[in-house]
Structure 1
């Protein structure tokens, strides 16, 4: 467990990226989710975004926060 914590504490080495954690849904898959599942997805993605930002992750996509707040934007 200690190795994982060390790896996560050094984002400059590229050990963990947002893409490693994000889940992409097709429109068909998204349509099958219940509203509560869509809300949970949005909440988790926004929390993940904020955690990465808090440790200094630099975002290439300026609209990433908008997508996390409203996951249906990019479907």
Structure 2
């Protein structure tokens, strides 16, 4: 089965804020969600944390590299 988009995807994409995509549940609703629903979400959160950790390390490496370049240019 081939799916067809109603609207073509534009080359330009708008940024999305966390508030635009978050789904919240009340404390009363949480027990209704079984482990089969929660476990995939746990995996997603773990992947997000790994991605953020990687980005942080890349940023630190770039920041250190920029500091060395500045020091060398001052010599």
Which structure's CA Rg is the greater one? 2
TM-score by length of 2: 0.41
Higher relative contact order (CA closer than 8 Å, sequence separation 6+) = 1
TM-score by length of 1: 0.41
